[in-house]
Chains A and B, each alone.
Chain A
């Protein structure tokens, strides 16, 4: 379980004079499903490309299967599946042809699996890839990435171009295919609700760094919003440990804090003679609190 599939340390990437990634530290163990979350243009795709060896890092290190991604061995590539943000296919090939063409690059290809997925996802076998809908192309891209049964699957914005129905279907299929402790998945998204459903871990990329990387349940258990209503006006100096944001108005304060515990809440109640309510935050709210 502790075997690391991906490791980045102090990873940076610059484009001209723009620092996109300043110092990324990330260690992804086997068996996790990691959602990589960040605002538009924060460097999610750049990070994924650096981890895959599609871009060279400007500083720090990236490791995949304990190898340098820039010089990945054939054996390592056989363990890896990647679906880019824009799946590029040869438009003149039919669905069946695209699959056999891709299969030819791999010594082992599970035709039974790809056949099963084509059927399950209702892809038109004899239709050319060119005119397929974005949803169908996305699904075909995933089939091509899964055919050699990779241990590590990397998806860059896999559902961005899909409607809600197609998105749910896609995620359901993804869960079915990758549901076991051997598979590791890293997918980037800015849709928090998808991530909440399928991910075991969340990584939040902010200002060129991984601001938070943790078990999703732990994140929801420890980051909370407190509504504090004291018996007397709260002083300007009122502060809660680990606060992301504090708003004080007279006797009332609203605080989002990162390490809320029962002990902390009872201490607040006792110290300020206050009524304290603890609000659970969903991932979208946590994400927003982290970006205030």
Chain B
């Protein structure tokens, strides 16, 4: 099953580079299950023409997703979504990705005069609510 460029929504005048917008949307579609392992993503040319963006932009997005392990190049047919979830990277990598957000939380927590334990307890509560 080939995926259509029409499912992508690009805002060229956003402050987020177009290639990042494409990357985010491919990731989101994989996460939501709309793109399944083995699915082809639209060809670089098809994406570029339909979204009316530069071809290099699309190929940059795909190459990065390939480097991340989310997509794999299938010689002759194009780029496919990879099978395993290993694309998420190691635990250390995933923690690193979260760090920046937590940094934010820590600053605000300290500004509000909360102790370390009190901040952690808020995080735990949020997680508990999410799981239930």
Contact surface of A with B, Cβ cutoff 8 Å: 31, 33, 168, 171-172, 175-176, 179-180, 192-193, 196-200, 216-217, 220-221, 224, 231, 262, 265-266, 269, 273-276, 279-285
Please determine whether A275 and B19 come into contact, CB atoms closer than 8 angstroms: no
Instruction: Please classify the interface of chain A as helix (H, G, I), strand (E, B), loop, or mixed, using the class held by over half of its residues.
Output: helix
The answer on a CB contact under 8 Å between A175 and B13 is no
Tell me if B16 is interfacial: C-beta within 8 Å of chain A. yes
* A197 and B53 contact, CB distance less than 8 A: yes
- Which of B31-39, B87-95, B107-115 is found at the contact surface with chain A? B107-115
Q: Once the chains bind, are B13 and A193 in contact (CB under 8 Å)?
A: yes
Query: Could you give, for residues 95-126 of chain B, a 1 whenever the CB lies within 8 Å of some chain A CB and a 0 otherwise?
Result: 00000100110011011000000000000000
Asked whether A282 and B100 contact (CB < 8 A) given A273-B110, A273-B111, the answer is no
Say if the beta carbon of B67 comes within 8 Å of chain A: no
In the assembled complex, the CB of B44 is this many whole angstroms from the nearest CB of chain A, namely 9
Q: In the complex, what distance in Å separates the CA atom of A232 from the CA atom of B65?
A: 42
Q: A175-B54, A193-B13, A197-B53 are known contacts; what are 8 more A-B pairs with Cβ within 8 Å? A: A192-B13, A198-B52, A217-B57, A220-B16, A262-B100, A269-B103, A269-B104, A280-B15
- How many residues on the B side are at the interface (Cβ–Cβ under 8 A)? 26
Residues of chain A within 8 A (CB-CB) of B107 are 269, 273-276
Say which residue of A179, A276, A283 sits within 8 Å of B48 (CB atoms).
A179
Identity of the chain A residue whose Cβ is nearest the Cβ of B111 in the assembled complex:
A231
The answer to whether A200 and B57 have CB atoms under 8 Å apart is: yes
Check if A33 sits within 8 Å of B13, measured CB to CB. Answer: no
CA–CA, A242 and B48, complex, Å: 34
A168–B110 Cα distance when bound, in Å, is: 50
**Do A200 and B111 have beta carbons less than 8 Å apart?**
no
Contact in complex: A168, B16 (CB < 8 Å): no
Would you call B18 and A279 a contact (CB within 8 A)? no
Q: Which residues of B contact A172 (CB under 8 A)?
A: 49, 52
Q: Are A282 and B57 in contact, with the CB atoms below 8 A?
A: no
B12: interface (CB < 8 Å):
yes
Given contacts A196-B13, A269-B107, contact A171 B52 (CB under 8 A): yes
Whether B27 sits at the interface, judged by CB under 8 Å, is no
Distance from B86 Cβ to chain A, minimum over Cβ atoms (Å): 25
> Which of chain A's residues has its CB closest to B59's CB?
A181
What B residues does A196 contact at CB under 8 A? 12-13, 18
